[in-house]
Amino acid sequence: MSEPVVSMKNISYAYDQKTVLNHINFEIPKGAFMGLLGPNGGGKTTLIKLILGLLKPDEGSVQLLGGPIGKFKDWNRIGFVSQKANSFNKGFPATVFEVVSTGLTANVGYFRFFNKNHKEKIIQAIDQVGMLEYTHENIGNLSGGQQQRIFIARSLVNDPQLLILDEPTVGVDYENVQRFYELLHRLNDERQITLLLVTHDTGTITEHATDIVCLNKTLHFHGKPEEYTSLSEKDLSVFYGHPVNIVTHNH
């Protein structure tokens, strides 16, 4: 088996005195489609920030693509679609093409222009998320689900090995959530992109993910979706710190 994309050893992190992550050990295997579950304030976003190098752990070490994070330079190999991508200024006058091009900005570098090759990459990424016909449409005219695809395309232009999505389906209707997961499967299968998806929607993620991780300060669960769904309400209450009602999705 090849080396994991992300490997966290004994990670702890606290904001001021408040511990958010307590001795976390976990790995994201290459090619995985991992769902990250947990209550609000359980440290999901902090964990992502640690992987992205935006925060430094108080304790422990992070390895990205086989090397220590301190020496990691290939940041464009890691795509990130933030929760905030949903709440951008809807009236911003930019076309889909222009938005996706911002994914390449840092990669291309200062004082350089986009060449033909870059433009092809942008078009390819838009095509990959099935939005080619909207290439020259203003982003503000698209639906929430379509905008979400555009933000994924923005990450895809850099051929990421790992794509991190922070609650991407909030505010997206059921049908588009299904199409969204189809897209993620395509990226996972065809382009071998490892996925880490933060979500509250336990019903849907357990149908799609290959691995489930449950985080509430410490790692409460790490295993296959079948194992997660076979957990009792009592077990889940322990994870979440309050009683849980399992709601099954029978679509």
Between 8 and 100, name the residue whose CB sits nearer to another protein.
Answer: 100
| Distance in angstroms (rounded) separating the CA atoms of residues 244 and 104 | 43
Tokens, residue 102: 């911002």
Which of 92, 143, 174, 189: binder of another protein (CB under 8 A)? 92
Q: Applying CB under 8 A, which of residues 45, 46, 101, 202 lies at the interface with another protein?
A: 101
Question: For another protein, which is the closer residue by CB, 104 or 236?
Answer: 104
Give the C-alpha separation, 165 to 160, whole Å. Answer: 13
Q: Does 103 bind another protein (CB under 8 A)?
A: yes
Cα–Cα nearest to 199, from 175, 170, 220, 224: 170
Pick the piece of the chain touching another protein (CB under 8 A) from 28-36, 62-70, 105-113, 210-218: 105-113
Total chain residues near another protein (CB under 8 A): 33
Find the shortest distance in angstroms from Cβ 230 to another protein: 38
The Cα 48–Cα 32 span in angstroms is 16
| Residue 107 in the binding site for another protein (CB under 8 A) | yes
Site residues (CB under 8 A) for another protein, limited to 41-60: 52, 54
Beta bridge partners of 163: 79, 195
Task: Pull the structure tokens for residue 131.
Answer: 């939005």
Going residue by residue from 67 to 86, which x/- string records binding to another protein, judged by CB under 8 A? Answer: --------xx---x-x-xx-
Q: Which is nearer to another protein, 38 or 160 (CB)?
A: 160
SS3 content of the chain, % helix, strand, coil (to 5): 40, 25, 35
Distance of CA 98 to the CA centre of its chain: 22
Tell the residue number behind the tokens 């911002």, with chain if given.
102
Q: Which amino acid is at 71?
A: K
Footprint of another protein on this chain (CB under 8 A)?
Answer: 52, 54, 75-76, 80, 82, 84-85, 88-89, 92-95, 97-99, 101-108, 110-111, 113-114, 136-138, 154
